[in-house]
């Protein structure tokens, strides 16, 4: 854990195609840099076995999600897959900043770009690049959390997301997880002015 005194209240955004290793990298960055706090997103997708409501996501019905959209509660939201909505509550950013920390977002590619547009220079947007689309498909299959139809849906989206990578501040290639984690830590430390 870092005990230095970094810039407070900044935003660090991680985006990637599904299966690129983004969440693994985010967890490691959060573990090593105590000045960061995870921003919990809302979703209408079903909860996976190991996930906890309020820690991994706020799991909402589509009706409840739409209620929050109408109220203007979301910083950004997106229908990532047909009938599957994801969003970021303004209240999450407020909660984290009130603790004196910087917020970390683990969001889809379009959501990441929307958050970056909102916070501009106060945000760092990092794109985690998979080794190749083929390697990505293999990771998704090995993960075993989606059936073949779901994997096909995700892969259909991958090429579109890869085209958006140049719009991010930094691209980290996840060919080797240890190297990708170290490179990401260096980028985040530099942005937050942590020695």
Domain residues of the chain, as ranges? 11-190
Quote the pTM value.
Answer: 0.84
- DSSP class of residue 67 equals H
> What integer pLDDT is reported at residue 132 of this predicted model?
83
> What integer pLDDT is reported at residue 149 of this predicted model?
86
Average pLDDT of the segment spanning 125-140? 87
**CATH 3.40.50.300, applies to 11-190:** yes
Angle (nearest 5°) at CA 23 between 165 and 117: 40
DSSP result, 72-93? T-EEEEEEEETTEEEEEEHHHH
The backbone torsions φ and ψ at residue 117, rounded to the nearest 5 degrees and listed phi first, read -60, -35
In the chain, the percentage of residues whose pLDDT exceeds 90 is: 67
Structure tokens at 189: 């430390």
Strand partners, 154: none
Render pLDDT for 21-43 as a digit per residue (tens, 0 to 9). 899 999 999 999 999 999 999 99
Angle between helices 177-191 and 22-32 (to 10 degrees): 50
């Amino acid at each position: 854990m870092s005990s230095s005194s970094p810039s407070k209240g900044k935003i660090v955004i991680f985006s990637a195609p599904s299966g690129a290793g983004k969440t693994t990298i985010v967890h490691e960055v959060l573990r090593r840099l105590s000045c960061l706090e995870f921003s919990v997103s809302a979703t209408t997708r079903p909860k996976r076995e190991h996930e906890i409501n309020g820690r991994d996501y706020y799991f909402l019905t589509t009706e409840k999600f739409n209620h929050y959209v109408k109220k203007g509660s979301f910083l950004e939201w997106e229908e990532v897959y047909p009938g599957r909505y994801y969003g970021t509550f303004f209240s999450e950013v407020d909660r984290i900043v009130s603790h004196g920390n910087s917020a970390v977002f683990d969001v889809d590619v379009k959501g990441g770009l929307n958050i970056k547009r909102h916070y501009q220079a106060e945000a760092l947007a990092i794109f985690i690049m998979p080794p190749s689309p083929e390697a990505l498909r293999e990771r998704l299959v090995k993960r075993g959390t989606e059936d073949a139809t779901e994997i096909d849906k995700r892969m259909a989206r991958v090429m579109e997301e890869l085209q958006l990578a140049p719009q991010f501040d930094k691209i980290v290639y996840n060919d080797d997880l240890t190297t990708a984690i170290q490179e990401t830590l260096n980028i985040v430390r530099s942005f937050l002015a942590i020695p």
